[in-house]
A = this chain, B = another copy of it.
């Protein structure tokens, strides 16, 4: 991804450290967080220095590299316990365990894992771009960009490709309360010079109903075999509104986000995050202490609202998952 014209990844391994663009400080400040231990990586995942299902997986893979040899089992447990919803986290840890058992060098294995993720995102961009008409007005929720996937992004990857191929596109970016990841998406789109506007989540339906949105493109944190999928809270709302307004709804995700052990979305564990994410924004209190709040971080969108999944193996309908992908 471009940052002020220079190529970056959202995280990379260098001189025995895992370096990550600190997503907590964007879009106000571009700074790099250094993780020197498994605990640093676990903190970075929990506190959302790094976020987005594929990027969390990559951070966890590098996290294993940072573990002392005699603490590797502890490292697997610590990293698996950071966040419960994103499937990529468990996928990455299983991959690392397998490779280490096969005698592969952990850093080589992690680098290979990350390169695979990046390559998948590139392919998602190629396939997804074919769905984008010149002049398309696309709505996206949360950040499913390069920040969330090391490079390219999932939902944003087709937009990058469309832009580079000269298609004119316009993006409605949900601000995505409570954590306002829409600001990360806006930051990426600005760096890519893609025209866009940030809107309150409440206004997504308004623009859909007025016929100003041609397609919805989002990422995913975990996808069940029947096509139900978990993603950032509010995704379900946008999916229902898309269907009601006959707007195609696409979910972009690599195969690592599909959970082969999960038949239906009902069984996905939804992470409840802290009240402070709602109460405070950038250290400003927006609700007093006496206000009770609830903060489910994800929701599950049933497969019937999904037009298709955009994967590194092509564009597939929800009922084709087991047949075509696995």
> Which A residues form the contact surface with B (CB < 8 A)?
27-28, 175-178, 180, 183, 186, 190, 196-206, 209, 232-234, 236-237, 240-241, 244, 278, 281-288, 290-296, 299-300
Contact = CB atoms under 8 A, between A and B. Distances in A.
The copy count of this chain in the complex is 2
7 contacts: A28-B288, A183-B287, A197-B293, A204-B237, A206-B296, A240-B244, A284-B284
B281 A286 contact: yes
B177 A209 contact: no
Contact of A281 (B27, B240, B284): B284
A292 B186 CA distance: 9
A199 B28 contact: no
A204 B202 CA distance: 11
A230 to B, nearest CB: 11
Contacts of A201: 177, 200-202, 234
Given A186-B291, A205-B299, A294-B197, A237 B241 contact: yes
Nearest to A205: B237
Nearest to A244: B240
Nearest to A190: B290
Nearest to A233: B202
B202 A234 contact: yes
B198 A293 contact: yes
A34 B237 CA distance: 41
Interface hub of A200, A206, A288 (most chain B Cβ within 10 A)? A200
Contact of A236 (B206, B286, B296): B206
A113 to B, nearest CB: 31
A315 B257 CA distance: 48
Nearest 7 pairs of A and B residues by beta carbon: A202-B234, A205-B237, A284-B284, A206-B299, A177-B200, A202-B233, A197-B292
A276 B255 CA distance: 41
Contact of A240 (B176, B205, B300): B205
Contacts of A232: 202
B203 A294 contact: yes
Interface hub of A180, A197, A240 (most chain B Cβ within 10 A)? A240
